[in-house]
Amino acid sequence: MALFDTLFGKKKKEFKASCQITKEPIEKGFGYLLTTAQVVTSKRYWDMIMTEPETMSYTISHFNNQPSGTQMRNMIFEKYAGISKPWIISDSIINYFEIDKASAKDNAKKWWESEGNFIPTQTGPAAENLDSSLFQTVKDYAILEAGRSKVKLAS
C-alpha cells in the first residue's frame, strides 16, 4: 500500500490542532494539555464562558431571577464539565488556569507526538476527578455567580 500511496500521491493528513477554548490554531509541539477538572476549576474560565455573546442573555436572565437563564447556565456547565477528553490549550489563555504549566506543556508534547492519543491521568468528566465538595463549589460558582460583575441588573 505504501508504494501505491507514493505513486498516486496520497499523503497522510497532517495532524493539526486548535485551542479548544479560543479556537486559534496551535503549532505542532506547542500549547498545554489540561484535563476537564483543571479547566472547570478556573473562575476566570467560567466568567469568560458565561459572558460570551452566545451566553450573555442567559447570564442576564439568571441575574434577573429568571429560572430559564439559570437552567441554561446549568446546561452549559454540564456540557463543559462532562468532557471526557483532554483539552489542548493555547498560550493566550493558559493564565486563566492555576496549574503546573511545565507539566501541562510536557503533556502537550506527548499529545502531539501521539497525534492526539496521549491521555494524562485524571482525564475524564470533572465529577469523576474532583472530590464532591470541590465539584459542588465549582458548579455553584459557574451556575450562580460567574459573570456577575459584567451584568448590569435592572433595579
Render pLDDT for 106-139 as a digit per residue (tens, 0 to 9). Answer: 999 999 999 999 999 999 999 999 999 999 999 9
Domain count, the chain: 1
Q: Which amino acid is at 99?
A: I
pLDDT (average), residues 92-109: 98
Q: What is the pLDDT of residues 26-53, one digit of tens each?
A: 999 999 999 999 999 999 999 999 999 9
Evaluate whether residue 55 is within a structural domain.
yes
Evaluate whether residue 155 is within a structural domain.
no
Integer Cα distance of 88 and 76 in angstroms:
20
Q: Which helix (H) or strand (E) holds 25?
A: strand 25-26
Evaluate whether residue 12 is within a structural domain.
no
73: CB partners within 8 A, 6+ apart: 50, 55, 58, 59, 62, 142, 143, 146
Evaluate whether residue 93 is within a structural domain.
yes
Q: Find the domain containing 60 and state its range.
A: 17-146
Range name among 3-17, 56-70, 140-154 with the lowest pLDDT average: 3-17
pTM beyond 0.75: the answer is yes
